[in-house]
Structure 1
Amino acid sequence: MKSFNRRSVVTLAAAALLLAGCGGGGQESNNAGSGGGASSGGKVTVEWWTIHNIDPMLGVWNGLVKDYQAKNPNVTIKVNAMNVENFKSKLTTVTQSGKAPHLFHTWGGGVLAQQVEAGLVKDITSDISSWSDTLSPVALSAYQIDGKTYGVPHDLGMVGFWYNKKLFAKAGIDAPPATWTEFLDAVKKLKAAGIAPIALAGKAKWPGHYYWAYLAMRVAGLDALKQAAETKSFENPDFVTAGQKLKELTALEPFQPGFLGADYDKPDGQAATIGNGKAAMELMGQWAPSVQRDTSKDLGEDLGFFPFPAVEGGKGSATEAFGGGGGVAVGADAPPEAIDFLKFISEPDNHRKGVKTGAIFPAVKGTEDAVTDRHAKLVTESLNKATGYQLYLDQAYPPAVGQQVNDSVAELIAGSKTPEQVVADITTAAKSE
């Protein structure tokens, strides 16, 4: 399920050049009043669209809705739970008409920015000011635009290297690499031992963009990526250097045979290649262990995790994380009870109920103790050390720009584009927005 949700980020973004029209209303009820915790007065119905349409999270959400309604008998929370494709389709249709649900799932980034520009979502900065400090700052950052907040996070994850400890030991690698030079050395040792160093879904494209994105973070720094989005220019020498570093890696031929035709979650795809022990590592999000298990085998204790290495001389830090999560946006005409409900589900004890299932990762401070899965703990530990956070580039930027990042990096990995051409193509896409 987590893998599917991640892919939907790209699918939704690509489909969401949707936002013509402004304003937007929910479904029903007294919409007077403003500010979280206030009351509209009388009977109120809050419509909530969520992509968590199966257990365990659907059961958690329904339980919290029941608890909230028991405490607020004048409020009805109408849950509309649907799979990602249906959510994408319905949200596109509704927002094109200039409306938005009272509460709806969001991944933040470029699509949320378009919704803000269209006047479809509410600025909730002041509404949540009394409790926003209980939320993880890195999680909240995905829903902040120009210093204002437009969503509340309920999930947070990160991309890192998942590796097979046995294969590392066989190649004589004593510890996960901490620098880019050490990483390249590890790749060489694995190849010398007859082991495919890295599994990659070249056909899917989106997994490949993780390499360029992380290298851009490590070489240029987070501020450079933000500035590029603002100026619509990626022709920064540091971004070219990031591409050159990626070319250093591809020159070693580190990927499994046939990687250019491989998908991610198919029986012969990237995840299964790792689970079946046919490659030593993959750069993937927090959902990787479950997809490996679903498509092949569970590596159990043999599966380790390490952050993307530091690049010597780079402006970025190895403690800056890359990834995404999930949150809830508030429709422009939502009643104040909608924000009060968000406060309720974001209370630590209530948030823990979801975290305990393993379906979501902590987005509320102090709830890390609810993480029980050994692999999830590895990700949580890394996130707790994070000093900065970058959203997936195919989500952080407008849809067309994100797609160009995926396409151009895939061509770079395949050898048909140069690092200079990559930044030029992404810049062209950005200026066309």
Structure 2
Amino acid sequence: MGDPALSRRGFLAASAAAGLGMTALSGCGGDSDGGSSGTTTIEWWNISTTQPTKDVWAGLAKKFEAQNPGVKIKIVQLENDAYKSKMTALTASGKLPDIFHTWGGGVLKQQVDAGLVEDLTGRTEEWAGGLLPVAKEPYLLDEKVYGIPFDIGMIGFWYNKALFKQADIATPPTTWTGFLDAVRKLKTAGITPIALAGKEKWPGMYYWAYLAMRTAGADAVQKASDDKDFTGAAFVEAGRHLDELVALEPFQKGFLGAAYSSPTGQAAAVGNGKAAMELMGQWAPVVQADAGKGLGDDLGFFPFPEVEDGKGAITEVFGGGGGHALRRGAPQAAVDFLKFFASEATDLELVKKTGVIPVVPAAENSVTDPNIKAVQTQLKAATGFQLYLDQAYAPAVGQEVNDSVAALIAGSKSSEQVTESITKTAKEEQ
């Protein structure tokens, strides 16, 4: 991990719909209480709503407050989709929280272009220079630093070894044909092959994104973004491969209405042994255990398979990480909190308690979980890196990717229509 050959193949993932109202959005921006105490309140918005991360992050805030008696951290924790929607509304209103979760790329660029985000280049150079280069890339815009990472990873298949054995699947598949065969074997054995949160759309996007990378190659995905044209034959073929999977009816009953992290959602279906696989990021084991029971030693990981005759390699990975950015004009205490969060001591605590992949080189060897190590190994061997499409592109384009792929999975859009819709939206954003 941290290999400089890992390059960013695109900007980062887009925001979700801005349909939620402005309730609970007021009060962003830390300030002094104006009284004799001189306390500065810093508002910190994040998406860590599952355990143990939720309590670990609250504990870190308390630790920072103890080290900085004049500062109070006010935490606002929202589920992924609600967070994206409310941040979209806040961006439109022109006022962001002091500290906020970001995936970087296209969405962060929109916020930066609107003059809403603090340029951290000079204020963090002394301590942020040593963080892993690949983890920092999503937050670099025009060679300026607008965010500090706390995690890096990739999307891959998390699977139930016991259910694979029950279906007589000896080893995880390495090709798309082999993957489809594994799905058939699982169905024959009476096992739901894949859990999918169809309601939230972004988990389905992962399939099309990876298939596009495998058929066209990571460089071609970047070129399509640059040219604002996704109608090439390889992108149409990616949708057709996804059609092949959907035709096998691999997902759990009611998947189109399923959420990701709810007790009846995607993560719980895998964590409770009701589905054999999910395509998800490095955070999957933690969410599986929080939403369900967790699989323990029965949990395994494998990279998205190669597509035969495709131009992409299995070593080209899709993913990203999490980071924090600051609203423009945020107080020094907010910068101090980012430094605290990016320290070796905090990174070690996050690795040990929440399973993140470290961004501080000194903490790299602290990973002990075999599955997180497997993700780390895949990242180290990566020959290309594509950031989440729904954060990589301008917000409207990213949302169209999610919406169009969801429609394909639901059977209401063809592969050609997916590429045409994404291209049309991309050109409209010029």
Q: Normalised by the shorter chain, which TM-score bucket?
A: 0.7 to 0.9
Matched, 1:61 2:36: no
Task: Show the counterpart of 2:182.
Answer: 186
Q: Is the 8 A contact 1:165 1:303 kept in 2?
A: yes
Matched, 1:307 2:310: no
Task: For residue 354 of structure 2, give the secondary structure of its aligned residue in structure 1.
Answer: coil
Task: For residue 135 of structure 1, give the secondary structure of its aligned residue in structure 2.
Answer: coil
Q: Is the 8 A contact 1:26 1:333 kept in 2?
A: no
**Equivalent pairs, count:** 400
Task: For residue 81 of structure 1, give the secondary structure of its aligned residue in structure 2.
Answer: strand
Report the CA distance shift for 1:252/1:140 in structure 2 as closer, same or farther (over 3 A): same
Task: Show the counterpart of 2:326.
Answer: 330
The one-letter code matched in structure 2 to 1:371 is V
State how 1:345-356 maps to structure 2 within 5 Å. Answer: 345-356=341-352
Task: Show the counterpart of 1:343.
Answer: 339
Task: Show the counterpart of 2:25.
Answer: none
Task: For residue 155 of structure 1, give the secondary structure of its aligned residue in structure 2.
Answer: coil
Corresponding residue to 2:42 among 41, 47, 51: 47
Matched, 1:79 2:82: no
State how 1:60-209 maps to structure 2 within 5 Å. Answer: 60-67=60-67, 69=68, 76-84=70-78, 95-96=91-92, 98-209=94-205
Task: Show the counterpart of 2:221.
Answer: 225
Deviation of 1:294 after TM superposition, in Å, equals 3.6
Deviation of 1:143 after TM superposition, in Å, equals 1.2
Report the CA distance shift for 1:202/1:125 in structure 2 as closer, same or farther (over 3 A): same
Report the CA distance shift for 1:272/1:47 in structure 2 as closer, same or farther (over 3 A): closer
Provide Cα deviations, 1:49-85, integer angstroms capped at 9, x if missing partner.
2425842112123313533x38xxxxx4442211227
Deviation of 1:126 after TM superposition, in Å, equals 4.9
Instruction: Tell me how far apart the structure 2 counterparts of residues 279 and 392 of structure 1 sit (CA, whole Å).
Output: 24
Q: Is the 8 A contact 1:102 1:334 kept in 2?
A: yes
Task: Show the counterpart of 1:379.
Answer: 375
Matched, 1:409 2:405: yes
Task: Show the counterpart of 2:414.
Answer: 418
Per mean C-alpha deviation after superposition, the further-off stretch among 421-430 and 177-186 is 177-186
Deviation of 1:341 after TM superposition, in Å, equals 4.8
Instruction: Tell me how far apart the structure 1 counterparts of residues 363 and 185 of structure 2 sit (CA, whole Å).
Output: 39
Q: Is the 8 A contact 1:122 1:330 kept in 2?
A: yes
Q: Is the 8 A contact 2:306 2:313 kept in 1?
A: yes
Task: Show the counterpart of 2:7.
Answer: none
Q: With structure 2 as the length reference, what TM-score do the two structures score?
A: 0.80
Task: Show the counterpart of 1:14.
Answer: 17
Report the CA distance shift for 1:148/1:408 in structure 2 as closer, same or farther (over 3 A): same
* Unaligned residue ranges in structure 1 (runs of 5+): 1-8, 19-24, 30-42, 71-75
Q: Is the 8 A contact 2:103 2:321 kept in 1?
A: yes
Instruction: Tell me how far apart the structure 2 counterparts of residues 87 and 245 of structure 1 sit (CA, whole Å).
Output: 32
Provide Cα deviations, 1:207-251, integer angstroms capped at 9, x if missing partner.
211100111122223333333333332222221121122122223
Over the residues paired in the alignment, what is the CA RMSD in angstroms? Answer: 3.4
Task: For residue 314 of structure 1, give the secondary structure of its aligned residue in structure 2.
Answer: coil
Percent identity between the aligned chains?
57
Instruction: Tell me how far apart the structure 1 counterparts of residues 375 and 99 of structure 2 sit (CA, whole Å).
Output: 28
Task: Show the counterpart of 2:4.
Answer: none
Instruction: Tell me how far apart the structure 1 counterparts of residues 248 and 97 of structure 2 sit (CA, whole Å).
Output: 50
Q: With structure 1 as the length reference, what TM-score do the two structures score?
A: 0.80
The one-letter code matched in structure 2 to 1:79 is I
Task: For residue 163 of structure 1, give the secondary structure of its aligned residue in structure 2.
Answer: strand
Instruction: Tell me how far apart the structure 1 counterparts of residues 60 and 397 of structure 2 sit (CA, whole Å).
Output: 36
Instruction: Tell me how far apart the structure 2 counterparts of residues 399 and 95 of structure 1 sit (CA, whole Å).
Output: 11
Provide Cα deviations, 1:295-344, integer angstroms capped at 9, x if missing partner.
44322111111111122333333223323332121333345665455334
The one-letter code matched in structure 1 to 2:409 is I
Task: For residue 217 of structure 1, give the secondary structure of its aligned residue in structure 2.
Answer: helix
4+ aligned runs moved over 6 Å, structure 1: 85-90
Instruction: Tell me how far apart the structure 1 counterparts of residues 369 and 91 of structure 2 sit (CA, whole Å).
Output: 38
Deviation of 1:385 after TM superposition, in Å, equals 3.4
